[in-house]
Amino acid sequence: MRHCLALDLHDDPALIAEYERHHREVWPEVLQHLRTQGVTELELFRIGTRLVMVMETDDTRFDADAMARAERDDPRLRAWEDLMWTFQKATPWTPPGVKWTPMTSIFRLSDAVSD
């Protein structure tokens, strides 16, 4: 399954550069966690301060609640999330207490009816 989520970064070029550097050197524990949770691919896209995450998951293994619990309960994963939050902020449409916000799909070429 494909998931598309959004998040914002603080509007600070130095912080944005550091955030991108961290994503060129993601901690091995974070990569292992993603794979263990059934994430088969993950891409981050940025324009200005807006981030979009496209995440592909194996639905036989992926459970968003279990993934969140693992992130909360593992000190190393919590440290990564705390570090990332120094660069990140919620979008204006994000509910309180939520970080990455699911986006709504409004068009898919493969579903379009052609003449």
Report the alpha-carbon distance of residue 75 to residue 24 in Å, rounded: 21
Catalytic residue among 3, 10, 23, 33, which? 10
Report the alpha-carbon distance of residue 18 to residue 14 in Å, rounded: 6
What stretch of H or E contains 91? none
Is 33 annotated in the active site? no
Annotated catalytic sites, by residue? 10
